[in-house]
Amino acid sequence: MTQVSGGFAELDLLPSIVAAVHATGYEEPSPIQAQAIPVILAGHDMIGQAQTGTGKTAAFALPILCRIDPDRKEPQALVLAPTRELALQVATAFETYAAQMPGVRVVAIYGGAPMGPQLKAIRQGAQIIVATPGRLCDHLRRDEHLLSTVHHLVLDEADEMLKLGFMEDLEVIFNAMPESRQTVLFSATLPASIRAIAERHLHEPKHIRIAAKTQTVARIDQAHLMIHADQKIPAVLRLLEVEDFDALIAFVRTKQATLDLTSALEAKGYKVAALNGDIAQNQRERVIESLKDGRLDIVVATDVAARGLDVPRITHVLNVDMPYDPESYVHRIGRTGRAGREGRALLLVTPRERRMLQVIERVTNQKVAEVRLPTAQQVLEARIRKLTASLQPLLEGSEASHGELLDRLLTDLGCEPRQLAAALLAKLTQGQTLDLEQLERETPLVPSAPRERAPRSGEGREPRERRAPPPLAEGRVRCRTALGARDGIAARNLLGAILNEGGLAREAIGRIQIRETFSLIELPEEGLDRLLGRLKDTRVAGKALKLRRYRED
Ligand code: ADP
Ligand code: MG
C-alpha cells in the first residue's frame, strides 16, 4: 500500500474527495491549500493572495465540494473567473475532484456559446456554477432568481476580472445572491479596487498571503544568453538542439514574431504552432490541447495569447523577446516547473536590455546565470546523443522484423553490412548533418554579444546602431533599407523578398543585419544596379523596401 498519511488526509476533507485528489497524483497540499482549506471549511469569508501556479483552484474547490449537499439539485456554489478558458479549467478541476461524489454536477457559463443549453444545465440540478461575470449577468437579466440558492461565492483572479472591466457585473452578481453567503476572494495583487470590494461585500474576512514569487522561481533553473537582436532566430535553433525539452513555450512580443519563429522552427521539423491575438478562440483551444497531448511540442506565443495557458508538460520557457516588466517575467517562467516539477527558463538578452536583466535579478532575488551559444561541436554531440537514444530501443526486435529485408538488400546491393549501415545513416540524417565541418558551414552565426563591459551612463544608448559592421566578403557590397525591427521586419522577410523579386540564388545573398530603424544586406557587386532596379517597387511587410547601396565610412 502506498502511504496516504499526512497531507490531504489531515485536512478534514471528505474521504471521497481525499481519494479523488490522491487519484490525480497530488501528494500533499500546496501552501495556499494547506492554509485556505481549513478556513473555507470553517465557513469564514477569506481573502487569499497568491501568484499563478500556487494551486488556488483546489484551495477553494476541495472545501466547497465538502460544503455542498449533493442531494439538493439546485445551485449552491458559484465561482467567477475572468475568462472562458479559466472558467473551463476550473469547471474541469471541480469535476476531477468530485469524481467520487456521485450526483455532483458542474456547469460552466461563458460567452460565445448559446445560452439555452447553459440554462438547461443549471435547471437540471447543477450544484456548482463556474462562470465569467459578463455571461452570468446576461442570464441574470432573464432570471433574477437564478442565484437565490447560492451560499458560496468564489472570486478567482479578482484582479484580472477588474482589469477586464467586470466591476459593474460583479456588483450585479453580489446583489443577486443571498446576504448570508460565504465569500472567498483570490487575487495575485490587492489594489485599492479589490480592497474596496472586500470592504463592501466580505464579512470579517481572514487574510491569507503566500509570498509565492521567490518560491515559484526557486524550482526553475534560469539562464540567459547575450545575443544581438538579428541573431535571435539562429540562436534559438541552436539552443533547441542542445536543450533537452519535453514541451516548450517561447515568448515573443509581436504577432509577426510568433509567425516568423514558428515558420523557422517548422522548417527544422519541430512540431510547433503560433499563438497570438489573431488566433480564434477555438483554434487556440486546439493548440493548447495539442501541446498537452504531444501533437505539438512548441508553442510560440505573445504574453496576451498565453494568458491562462497551463500545460504541465512544459519543461522549458524560452524568452526570445524580453518581457516588459519583471512581473511578467515571473509570470512567464511560472509556466514551467508546475506543481513541484523541475523547469528551465532561458532568456535572450540583447546588449541594450542588460538593465532589464539586472532588474529581473533584483526582483526575483536570484542570479540568472549566463550561458554561451552552443558551439557546432556541442550541437553535433547533441545530435549524436539523440540519434543513439532513438536507436537504442530498436536494437531489440528489429532483426526479427527486418532481418530478411537486410539480407535481401545486402545481396541486391552486393555490399558489406558496414557499408549498408553507413548508407542508411546517411539517409536517416539527411538534412541533419553529423559532419562537424558541414555543421559549422550550415550554422554561420556571429558569436554571442559580449557582456564584459556595462555601458557607462550616456554611452550605451544605441549600441547596436553604432557597432562597426563586420568586413565584407570579396565581390560583395552592403545595401541598406530604412525598414528595421520597429517595422516588424525579420531577416527572412527581406531574404524572401529579394529571392522572389530579385531573382537571386540564396548563395548570392550574404549577411542580413536587422537594426531597430534600418537593415543591412550583403549583395553581389556584379549586376547590383540591375538588381536594385528589379527591386524598385518591392514592398516588405506592407512598406516600400527602397534598397540602396550603403557607403561605409
Ligand atoms: P493557480 O490557480 O494558483 O494558478 P492551479 O490551481 O491552476 O494554480 O494549479 C496549478 C497546477 O498545479 C495545476 O496543474 C494543478 O493540477 C497542480 N496542482 C495543484 N495543487 C497541487 C498539489 N497539491 N500537488 C500537485 N499538483 C497540484
Ligand atoms: Mg487559477
Would you say the CB of residue 310 lies under 6 angstroms from ligand 1? yes
* Cβ–ligand 1 contact at 518 (below 6 Å): no
Segments in the chain below pLDDT 70: 1-6, 53, 211-218, 338-341, 431, 442-470, 552-553
Number of the ligand 1 atom closest to the C-alpha atom of 310: 14
Classify domain 7-209 by CATH number.
Answer: 3.40.50.300
Cα angle, residue 109 at apex, residues 105 and 115 outer, rounded to 5°: 110
116 sits in which H/E element: helix 115-123
Enumerate the β-bridge partners of residue 207. 47
107, containing H or E segment: strand 106-109
Ligand that comes closest to the CA of residue 58: 1
Contact partners, residue 384, CB within 8 Å, separation at least 6: 434
Are 439 and 379 contacting, i.e. CB atoms less than 8 angstroms apart? yes
Q: Give, using CA atoms, the residue closest to atom 23 of ligand 1.
A: 29
Residue type, 317: V
Residues of each domain in the chain carrying CATH 3.30.70.330: 468-549
3-state secondary structure of 255: helix
Q: Which atom of ligand 1 is nearest to the CA of 28?
A: 23
What pLDDT score does 446 carry?
53
Cell of 182: 460565504
Name the H helices within 30-83: 31-41, 56-67
The closest residue, in CA terms, to atom 9 on ligand 1 is: 55
Q: Which CATH number fits domain 220-376: 3.40.50.2300, 3.40.50.300, 1.25.40.10, 3.20.20.70?
A: 3.40.50.300
Q: What are residue 116's DSSP bridge partners?
A: none
Give SS3 for 500. helix
Instruction: Please give the angle made by the CA atoms of 278, 279 and 285, to the nearest 5 degrees.
Output: 155
- Other CB atoms within 10 A of residue 442 CB: 13
Task: List the one residue out of 3, 59, 11 whose CA is nearest residue 31.
Answer: 59
Closest ligand 1 atom number to CA of residue 29 = 23
To test the pocket of ligand 1, the residue of 24, 57, 64, 341 to mutate (highest count of ligand atoms within 8 Å of its CB) is 57
- The rounded Å distance from CA 401 to ligand 2 centre is 49
C-alpha cell at 308: 491562462
Which atom of ligand 1 lies closest to the CA of 50? 3
pLDDT reported for residue 120: 94
What distance in Å separates the CA atoms of residue 316 and residue 262, rounded to the nearest whole number? 16
**Separation of CA 30 and ligand 1 centre (Å):** 8
Instruction: Tell me if 183 CB under 6 Å of ligand 1.
Output: no
Cα of 490 from ligand 1 centre, angstroms? 38
Count of CB atoms within 10 A of residue 46's CB? 25
Contact 273, 300 (CB under 8 A): yes
CB 130 within 8 A of CB 87: yes
Residue 484 in contact with ligand 1 by CB distance below 6 A: no
Q: Which of 250, 361, 351, 228 is nearest to 298 (CA)?
A: 250
Shortest-distance Cα residue to atom 27 of ligand 1? 339
Map grid coordinates 483552484 to a residue. Answer: 57
Residue 323 Cα distances to 239, 327, 330, 348, 349, angstroms = 19, 9, 9, 10, 10
Could you identify the atom of ligand 1 that is nearest to the CA of residue 157? 2
65 lines ligand 1 (CB under 6 A): no
Distance CA(183)–CA(76), nearest Å, equals 12
User: DSSP assignment, residue 3?
Assistant: -
Right CATH for 468-549 from 1.10.10.10, 3.40.50.10490, 3.30.70.330, 3.90.1150.10: 3.30.70.330
pLDDT score for 215 = 45
In the chain, CATH 3.40.50.300 covers: 7-209, 220-376
| Cβ atoms of residues 159 and 49 within 8 Å | no
Task: For residue 181, report the distance from its CA to the centre of ligand 1, in Å.
Answer: 26
Atom from ligand 1 closest to the CA of residue 156? 2
* CB contact at 8 A, 165 and 136: no
Which of 96, 330, 338, when mutated, tests ligand 1's pocket best, judged by the most ligand atoms within 8 Å of its CB?
A: 338
- Lookup result for grid cell 500533499: 28
CA distance 72 to 211: 38
Q: Is 83 in the pocket of ligand 1 (CB under 6 A)?
A: no
Is residue 52 in contact with ligand 1, taking CB distance under 6 Å?
yes
> Which strand (E) or helix (H) includes residue 12?
none
Helix 133-142 crosses helix 115-123 at what angle (to 10 degrees)?
70
Mutate to test the pocket of ligand 1, among 310, 333, 335 (most ligand atoms within 8 A of CB): 310
Q: Which atom of ligand 1 is nearest to the CA of 24?
A: 16
Whole-number Å distance between alpha carbons of 79 and 75: 11
Nearest 5 degrees, angle CA 291-CA 293-CA 299? 10
